[in-house]
Structures are given as C-alpha cells and as structure tokens.
Structure 1
Amino acid sequence: MRSSPPSTGFAPVARDRSFLIGIGWALLAVTIWGGWFVVTRRAVGTGNVLGPADLVAIRFGCGGLILLPVVLRLRRLTRRDAADAVWLILGQGAPFALLISIALRYAPAGHGAALTPGTMPLMAAVLGILCLRDRPSRTALAGLALILVGALALAGAVETREELLGYGMFLAAALLWAIGTVRMRRSALRPVEATALICVASLIGYVPPYLALGLSRIPAAPAGELALQVIYQGVLVSVVGLLAFNRSLALIGRRTPAFTALVPVIATLLAIPVLGEFPSVASALAVAAIALGVLLTTRG
C-alpha cells in the first residue's frame, strides 16, 4: 500500500499570508478614504476657492497622468474586459467622485462616510445575491440589517432639504461603487489594470469638458491648499486607495467591501479636530450601528 507524501504545510501558510496581505491592503484603502471625506469637506464646505469640479479634476488629472504608462502598455482587452472596465469607470471613476464631492457641500463628513462606504456592503451583498448567487450567512444578514437600521436612523435626522439632497447623492454613489465592486469580483482585469483604466478614462472623459466649460478655479487657489489636494486627491485617493482596494478584492474577495466599516469611524474622529464637526448622540449611534453591521457582514 503506497503511503501519501507528508504535508509540508506550505499551502495553508501561503493562504494565511495572502489573507493577511489582503487585509493590509483593505486597511490602507479605508484609512485613505476616511481622510478623503474630511479633506474634501474641508475644501468644499468652508467657502474655499476650490469646488467639487476642481477636486475631481485634480483627482483624475494627476492620477490619470501617473497611470498613463500602465494603460499604454496594457494588453489588448477582450470584449468582456472592456465591458468590465466601463462598469468600473462608472462605479469608481469621475461620476462617483463628483457625486461625493457635491454631496459634501450639504452634509457632514461623518454622515457621508457612514452612508456611502457604510451602505456599500449592503448594496454589494444584494447585487451579489442577485447576480452571483451569493448566500450570506445569518451573521452576515444580521449585519446587513444593522447597516439598514443605521442608514435609516441617519436619514431620520435630516434637518434641511439640502442635507437630504446630500444624503441621496451619497447613496447613489454607494450604489455605483457596489456595481463596480461586484463586477470586479468576476473580472479578469488585474487590480493595477483596473485602477489605471479608471483614472485614465476619467482624465480623458472629464478633464477636457471641465476645462472647455471654464469651470476651473485652480489658478486662484492658495498654494498650500492646492498642494494638499494634489497629494491627497491626485495621488493617495485616485491611485493608492483604488489600487489597494482592488488588490485586496483580488486576494480576499467579498470580504473586502466589509472593511469599509472603518471609514465612518475614521472620518467621524478626524472631522472633530479638523472641521469641528461633533456628532450628536443619535448620529454617533447610527454610525456605530453601520460600522458594527459591516463588521458582522465581514464575519459572516
């Protein structure tokens, strides 16, 4: 009787290492995005010279130029790859960023960070069930229910029509991102390819009309503020954050969107010293419910 070779244990170690690396990429992405809500709100919500249109132009103008060499060296895309790219560009490109930037004129950074990244797992889960036949566990379903309760609680605290408009834009952006996330899960595009296509396509599709319509107020912006936005919007958010998120998605799959639970926590905490936005008890509880819901979704 032939004995089977002894197990080396390398495969489990490699899987554990990939899992930890995937978590690391996810944490990097959500940390950058938590700060993005605060940095963007600081620019558009305090009478600054720069407006939402400028921030999106900076984000994808810089990101597109940085990643242009990647697109120029890109393999020929199949028809399916091209279709995936279109959905990713809509979900993670200029339309998504413009919705968030405009919404932050009307609603606090912490609320935006709770409603957009917080509801992404809920929408991604629903789309996963409908499109990919996912079967969430009871724990995940409990988490999704908490996310819904928290989102409804925040919506119930709306005080003005402008705030309601901002909340609607946050939720629309979350839906776009969820569509891109579900599409990326079954895409053959590598993370760096997806990120480059998003940034370069947004550069080509957004920046020329932005300039042609005379929307730019960048020349009038203070040098310090412009430098901050170029570094954060143009490098960290458009390149590093997207690449980190899509890399994590490739390594740990549907667990990645659930790490967005940390975004509202990071944004809410940063908004206190940077913007002076102290959450009410009701808002804080709603944000906590969303964060806990996303953590349960991850566990499930």
Structure 2
Amino acid sequence: MAMGVTLLIWASFFISLRASSQSALTIGDIALLRFLPAALVFGWLALPKAKKIKQTPKRYLLAIALGAGLPFLLLAANGLRLAPVADGASLIPGILPLFVTSIAAICYRERISSMRKAGIMLIFFGICLFLATSLLSGSSQIATGHALLLMASFSWAWFTIAMRVSGLTPIEGGAVLSLSACTCLPVLYLLGLVDFNLLNAPSSEIAFHFIIQGIAAGLIANFTFGYAISRLGAEMSAALGSFTPVLAALIAVPMFAESLNMNTVLAMMLIVLGAISASEIITTKKVAIKVG
C-alpha cells in the first residue's frame, strides 16, 4: 500500500516538473516548495532523535542528503526540461533497480538471484532502447536530457541503499535530506546557480506545485517510500518504482500532447517486465507431494 501511494505521487512529481518548464516558476522555486515544508515538519518530528542522527556514519548521511535532496531535484528538473515525461519517468525509477542491485552487489557483496539478474537485463535493454532512440533522432537536447535523468537515477539509488543500511526511520531520513537541501539553496543562489521568481508567479501555479512537490512528494512520498524500504527491502522497493512511467506517460499524453511512439512503448514494456522480475514478485516454489 505504501508503494502504491508512492507510485501515484511519483507520477504526479514528474508531471509537476515537466509543467514547471512551461510556467513562471524557476527550478529554485520548485526546490523551495519541495523541501521547505518537509524541513519544517520532519525537522520538528526528528528533533528528539538528533543525537541518533549525529551518530549515524557520515557517509550514509551524505548519501541520503545528496541522493534524494537538492542535487537529485536539480538533475531531474533539468533533464525533464529537455526530454519528454515518459522518458524521465522511465529512466529515473526504471533504471533504479539496476543501480541499486549493482551497488548492493559490488559494495555490500549481496548475492543476486537468477530471476533478479533476468529482470536487470530486461531493464538494461529498455534503457538502451531509450538511448538509441534519442541518439538516432539526432536530437542533442533529448540526449542531454537522458544523461541528466540517468545521473538523477544513480543519485536516487545511493539514497535507497543508504536509507536501508543507515537504520534511520523515514522521518529521520526525510529530515536529513530536506534540511540539507534548505541549507544548500541559499549557497547556490549566492553562487548564481539558481534563482527565484516565487513572488511574481501566479498563485494558481504556486498552489499546484506546492501540493504536488511540497505536500505529496516532499512529505508523503518521502515517508511512504522509506516505510516501503523498511518492509520490502531496497531492491524490491526500487523495482516496484519502475511502474511509475506507465502512470506518468498516460497522464502526459492528454496534458502535454506528448506522443508515445513504438520505441518508447517497447522500452517501457521491457522496463516494467524487468521490474516485475527484478522485484521477485513472481517466484516459483517447490511443492512436496506426499504419496500414500
């Protein structure tokens, strides 16, 4: 149930980022709407656990802060300004199981089952089909967008692994990533890397992105995804996240008049099938038959 809620919010998250490219809001505005409410709520709730958070290995805290915090949002937002919603929703959560499983196998020596290996291969072929389509089309803009989206997915993979091994609760992890993002935003502004236009944007756009980014993605999804990781594990949670592109693409077709060509549909099918296999939702069990 937690992952079901997360999938619906993630699909809305990609729609919101794509819509921001056609609005008066800047990426800095989106980041502020995304992380400030979470920082206030999670920061207050996690205050009694401040000592526990400080004692957490710094490499885990850094992976959480960078993996799902401001760097992730900047990569995803800029990537979706260059590539269609279906591509972004497929590449970020779609390739996530590949990155998560690779990190778990290489860094933590986890064994990978045959079914999970088959799923990872299907996801890999799906991603290759996406990249081949953008390269053959000759669109450097889409190719650049795909590269940014892959970097965002790799960033999110480190967050997924770090949340599992750190021992932090979803609320504590949410406090780490949101507070770090709010701390970095002024620094990036002073460096001229982000700007703000919140005061000049229409109130309807602010309300829309505040609900999707600040409340849904920033608060609810951070908790539900963290909860799912604690119950299902990082690999299965990441694999189930690969169903996001189907929802996002269906919404994007009428909302942004985006078309789904055959290559995109085939790539999405490979990724979803790979996710089902990699999550090991369908497993074969040996049944003992008693005779006599």
- Of 9, 15, 27 in structure 2, the residue corresponding to residue 38 of structure 1 is 15
SS at match of 1:75: helix
Q: Deviations over 1:227-270 (max 9, x none)?
A: 00111111111111111111110111131111112111111111
Determine if contact 1:61/1:207 at 8 Å carries over to the other structure. no
* CA–CA distance in structure 2, aligned partners of residues 218 and 78 of structure 1: 33
CA-CA distance at 1:58 after TM superposition: 1.5
* CA–CA distance in structure 1, aligned partners of residues 103 and 269 of structure 2: 24
Q: Deviations over 1:175-208 (max 9, x none)?
A: 1111121122211211211111111111122245
* Residue aligning to 1:4: none
* Residue aligning to 1:138: 114
TM-score scaled by length of structure 1: 0.87
Determine if contact 2:96/2:242 at 8 Å carries over to the other structure. no
* Residue aligning to 1:58: 33
* CA–CA distance in structure 2, aligned partners of residues 295 and 262 of structure 1: 9
Q: Which runs of 4+ in 1 moved over 4 A?
A: 211-214
* Residue aligning to 1:200: 179
* Residue aligning to 1:9: none
For structure 1, list consecutive stretches of 5 or more residues without a partner in the other structure. 1-23
* CA–CA distance in structure 1, aligned partners of residues 56 and 16 of structure 2: 36
For structure 2, list consecutive stretches of 5 or more residues without a partner in the other structure. 284-292
SS at match of 2:95: helix
- Of 263, 268, 288 in structure 2, the residue corresponding to residue 282 of structure 1 is 263
Please show how residues 229-268 of structure 1 align to structure 2 within 5 Å: 229-253=209-233, 254-268=235-249
TM-score scaled by length of structure 2: 0.89
Give aligned pairs, total: 275
CA-CA distance at 1:78 after TM superposition: 4.7
Q: Deviations over 1:66-123 (max 9, x none)?
A: 3221243323035434432211011010100110011111000110010111000001
User: Is residue 2:84 matched to residue 1:108?
Assistant: yes
Determine if contact 1:57/1:210 at 8 Å carries over to the other structure. no
Give the letter aligned to residue 73 of structure 1: P
Worse-superposed segment, 204-213 or 55-64: 204-213
* Residue aligning to 1:3: none
Give the letter aligned to residue 108 of structure 1: P
CA-CA distance at 1:211 after TM superposition: 7.0
Give the letter aligned to residue 182 of structure 1: I
Determine if contact 2:76/2:149 at 8 Å carries over to the other structure. yes
Give the letter aligned to residue 26 of structure 1: M
* CA–CA distance in structure 1, aligned partners of residues 147 and 278 of structure 2: 23
